[in-house]
Amino acid sequence: MELEGIDLASMRSMVLRFPELLVAKKPDIRFLEKARRAGESGISGICFVGMGGSSIVGEICRGLLIEQSNVPILTVRDYSLPKVVTKKWAVMVVSYSGDTEETLACFEETRSRGAKIFVITTGGTLAERAQGKNIHVVPKGLQPRAALPLMFSAMYPTVAALLSLETTGLDEVSASLRQQAQNWGATMDSPSTLAEKLKGSVPLFMGWKHLVPIAYRAKCQMNENAKTVAFHGELPEADHNEIEAAMSYSRHSVVPVFLRSCFEESTIKRRFDVTSEVLSEAGCESIHLRISTVSPLEESLAMTHYLDMTSVELADSLGIDPLKIDRIAHLKRKLASDW
């Protein structure tokens, strides 16, 4: 069906189809209508519940919409909800597998508090328990982290509807991402070139505003796909603490990768440039990534697509299978048996 043509045994194949996955399964009109009505009835806040690859979807939406929101938007990556989340809140519960224990625990808590629930999943226990609730079912078969565009395409318009905001459709963004990917290597380093630059080092992805969750996503993709240690940070905050560690970066082979935005305000542009100068004085050269885009939405997704592919290229170059997540599986088995 929607995943036709993707080799489900290859992370490269999944990442290459990122633009197509963004438009593969549009949310049901009734799902969006319920969100719009919930928003109009007056919600006190929006809470995203989920872990790992499912959680980042909400973080990206938050980064894009928080400035236009007149209610707080929280992310919960744990077993329980903060007290402030009451029945006046909308809670978006996201789990690709539908079987993640922290997410299921929060789902139950959300239900008992009487909050408005919107679920995105492929099935599993979550789909069973969410029968009769607002649920958007996406196709199975991908790794959760590779399903980001599939889940984002439902999450983003739903959050916008909850906030009574107009959003542009994702068709144009998808077409643009396809175009951008064809230009990798011409207008900027190709993902494989960047991967070679990062090989043997510790990448430190640094973002601002809507690119902060993208920096976090890049760190997670380096961890999960390339099995490589990586960190993320954000400006301007990093200038008040992390900058003091600059002298140790060369010793630990840290390579700062600045995710530069076409929408940087002059103060932020200056911060990135001066921070880079200070790092250089400390003997550490940073990499600056820029992708020319028409909106923060397109920029966030184009940057995610590019960095996802970089993590796959790095895995290949290291002779590592990006698909395998043996330690996560091992840990889950141990947690289930050693109790």
The region of 34-42, 140-148, 190-198, 230-238 touching ligand F6R under the rule CB under 6 A is 140-148
Is position 322 an interface residue for ligand F6R (rule: CB under 6 A)? no
Is position 120 an interface residue for ligand F6R (rule: CB under 6 A)? no
CB of 317 to ligand F6R, least distance (A): 20
Is position 96 an interface residue for ligand F6R (rule: CB under 6 A)? yes
Amino acid at 140: K
Is position 145 an interface residue for ligand F6R (rule: CB under 6 A)? yes
CB of 331 to ligand F6R, least distance (A): 10
Q: Which residues are catalytic?
A: 224, 240, 332
C-alpha distance across the termini of the chain, in Å: 40
CB of 50 to ligand F6R, least distance (A): 6
What b/e sequence results for 239-276 when a residue is b if at least 16 CB atoms lie within 10 Å of its CB, and e otherwise?
Answer: beebeeebeebeeeebbbbbbbbeebeeebeebbeebb
CB of 70 to ligand F6R, least distance (A): 30
Q: Which of 3, 22, 73, 95 binds ligand F6R (CB under 6 A)?
A: 95
Question: Between 18 and 184, whose beta carbon lies closer to ligand F6R?
Answer: 18
Is position 221 an interface residue for ligand F6R (rule: CB under 6 A)? no
Is position 311 an interface residue for ligand F6R (rule: CB under 6 A)? no
For binding to ligand F6R (CB under 6 A), which residues are involved?
Answer: 51-54, 95-97, 100, 103, 143-145, 224, 325, 328
